[in-house]
Amino acid sequence: MSDTHVVLYDPLGLIEAELPLDRVPYEALVTAVLAWKDPDLQPRDYEQIALQLTGHARAVASDVRRYAAALPKNDGRGALAEVVLREADSRLSAPLERTARCAQNRARLVRALYTRLDRLTEPAPAAT
């Protein structure tokens, strides 16, 4: 066994761009978290859920950014994506709290980012 390792240098995120997001388990987590009425978890559990959702939100935001950047300048979907991305950046820069409210806010963010990603990956509407 070798003691050497290779450091990957990928400043443009091209390798990550080739890997599809594992969407199904995160959509299930979002659905579960948003269905909470009066959860009784430990603060560390809320924190772990919020961390999972935060990491996934960053990955989805990266995809949204990449798709939006590839759109023609006159495609309004890009402008809408920018609004969602600014909001995402603002919300992701806020410190995590160890609360159900924080986890639910991160779940809402993941849902909003997936909604925008879906709109960006649909065929452009026909001009009338």
- Return the pLDDT at 73: 87
- Return the pLDDT at 121: 87
- Per residue of the chain (128 residues), what is the pLDDT tens digit? 556 666 556 565 555 555 567 899 999 999 999 999 988 999 999 999 999 999 999 999 999 999 999 988 888 898 889 999 999 999 999 999 999 999 999 999 999 999 999 999 887 666 55
- Return the pLDDT at 8: 57
Distance in angstroms (rounded) separating the CA atoms of residues 81 and 113:
9
Report H helices in 6-126.
14-17, 23-34, 43-70, 76-93, 100-121
Distance in angstroms (rounded) separating the CA atoms of residues 81 and 117:
8
- Return the pLDDT at 82: 92
- Return the pLDDT at 22: 83
